[in-house]
Amino acid sequence: MGAYSNDTSLNILASYAYLGNDKRFEELAFDLHRKGKINLMIDSGAFTKHNAKSNFDFLTLNNYCKFLQRHKNECEKYVMLDVVGNESKSKANYEEMLRQGLNPMFVLTMYDNDMDYFRYAIDNNPDCCVAGGATTKGPWMIKRFQTAYKESKCKAQIHGLAYVTYPNMLQLPLSSVDSSSWKIGALRYGSFSFFKDGLKSTDIKSIRKNTKVPPKLLFMFEKCGITLSDFLCKSNHSGNVNIQSLMSIMAYLEYQNFCYKRGLRLFLAVSSYMDLAKILYVKENINNLSYNEFKKIQ
């Protein structure tokens, strides 16, 4: 369990998989939590390592524990290092983290049905993770959250890993959820996100086909000083600081506020210093945004 929770809707999930090899990113993330500007949750990076093509050999239990010993009092909560698809090794990791004086969020994986052990972990720390949201959003996942909460005797403060499904996430016994879609949608798929009775999105092809911009998105363009010529310029739709990225961050910050007022923390998953710097710029300049200034972020 981390030291404290900051009273802010700006919830950030950062993984040791990325923090562990980037000192600038590490320093910024924990400094922002200490100053109360963000509410920080640390993920182990187990899922990232499992699916990665690149080298994450540094991501070991020993290194992760050393990292948490330095930073455990500078975040709201932190996740155990599980081993994807291996229940016994995951439990061994959890026990070793406890032995080292840490008290991480236990991860109930999709294949884990040992509810006696789950209750034991909840007695140690009611903050926990229920996995599966990255794979499925349907009835099985809904039932899984409900079962975990019931089996914990309603003690579990459940974080739904990668589960951002509106409005279900607000109707389930969840304390928090996380999403990386704020980044992926804009940079990989070129989506323009906006919040209007839930999160909506469109793209350049749809706008050109319909020959109009949705009113909420048009308002967001005007708020950031984005002109027609800016919109038509191809270079503004590529790279890390494109128009879609700015729109997405604005939309997800509004989404965070919406959830926060309803008792749910929506964490934005970040994987670099740049990710966090962009979000911070939008948050701190929400009433004085400029796309030209956003493009200067490095």
What is the value of pTM for the model shown?
Answer: 0.94
DSSP at 105? B
The torsion of the CA quartet 108, 109, 110, 116, rounded to 10 degrees, works out to -40
| Residue 220 confidence class, pLDDT cut points 50, 70, 90 | very high
Position of tokens 């990232």? 48
Cross-strand bridge partners of residue 268: 12, 179
Average pLDDT over residues 144-162: 97
- Per-residue model confidence as pLDDT tens digits over 16-69: 999 999 999 999 999 999 999 999 999 998 878 777 767 788 899 999 999 999
Q: Tens of pLDDT along 73-98?
A: 999 999 999 987 788 999 999 999 99
Residue 242 has pLDDT above 70, yes or no: yes
Of the candidate ranges 50-54, 95-99, 107-111, 289-293, the one whose mean pLDDT is the lowest: 50-54
Tell me the HSE value of 79 on the side-chain side, using a 13 A CA sphere: 28
Question: What pLDDT is stored for residue 209 in this prediction?
Answer: 85
Asked if residue 169 has pLDDT above 90, the reply is yes
> Which tokens hold the place of 281?
């710029």
Distances (CA, A) of 108 to 16, 88, 256: 19, 12, 25
- 286: confidence class by pLDDT, cuts 50, 70, 90: very high
273-284 helix and 23-34 helix, angle to the nearest 10 degrees: 30
246-265: per-residue pLDDT in tens? 999 999 999 999 999 999 99
Q: How far is CA 116 from CA 133, 151, 152, 293, in A?
A: 23, 9, 9, 53
Given a cut of 90, whether residue 122 has pLDDT beyond it is: yes
Helix (H, G, I), strand (E, B) or coil at 91: helix
Q: What is the spatial distance between Cα 196 and Cα 73, in angstroms, rounded to a whole number?
A: 37
Statement: residue 1 has pLDDT above 70? no
Q: What is the mean pLDDT of the chain?
A: 94
Residues 6+ apart with CB under 8 A from 115: 151
Confidence of residue 3 (pLDDT cuts 50, 70, 90): low
3-state class (DSSP) for residue 82: coil
Residues 6+ apart with CB under 8 A from 272: 18, 22, 25
Give the β-pairing of 157-160 and 176-179.
Answer: parallel
